[in-house]
Amino acid sequence: MKPGLEPGHAAQFSITVTPEMAARLGDRVIHPLYGTAAMVAHLEEAARMVLEPFLEADEEAVGYTLNLKHAAPTPIGAAVRIQARLVSVQDDTVVCAVEASNAAGVAGLGTFTQVVVSKDRLTKRISEAADQLVASPIAAKEL
């Protein structure tokens, strides 16, 4: 990693909840509210924005751990502020506090951990996983 990535570094952006972000299972909308899956994607993006400027050309980062409390509902059409703040960097592990908030307060909060790896190592692991899974398919009935 490039120098300068220190606790307190932050990133944020705002979104407006769209029908595509609703709580859903497959194609079925469960609630006309900001879904946890959409929130997770936005929080991961904010955490990536914190780290990305500090990655070297031969480095990549992968999501490792997410701890999230979806604390309050946010309806379709509402504005949400998404933010991530760096909490710690230890070796190749980067932890951000993440939060989604609407006009009424906190809608979601937690931590998101990323691990920095070499692009070569990641490419090799992806290839190995693909080879293993294609060579050893599990029948759906076995799951």
Using one digit for the tens of pLDDT, what is the confidence trace for 15-65?
999 999 999 999 999 999 999 999 999 999 999 999 999 999 999 999 999
Residue 141 CA to residue 110 CA, distance in Å, equals 35
Residue 142 confidence class, pLDDT cut points 50, 70, 90? low
Q: Is 123 left (phi over 0), alpha (psi -120 to 50) or beta?
A: alpha
- Residues 122 and 49: beta-carbon distance below 8 Å: no
Question: Buried b vs exposed e over 104-131: b needs ≥16 C-beta within 10 Å?
Answer: eeebbbbbbbbebeeeeeeeeeeeeeee
Please work out, in degrees rounded to the nearest 5, the angle formed at the alpha carbon of residue 106 by the alpha carbons of 85 and 61. Answer: 30
Is residue 140 over pLDDT 70? no
pLDDT > 70: percent of the chain: 94
User: What are the chain's domains?
Assistant: 10-117 (3.10.129.10)
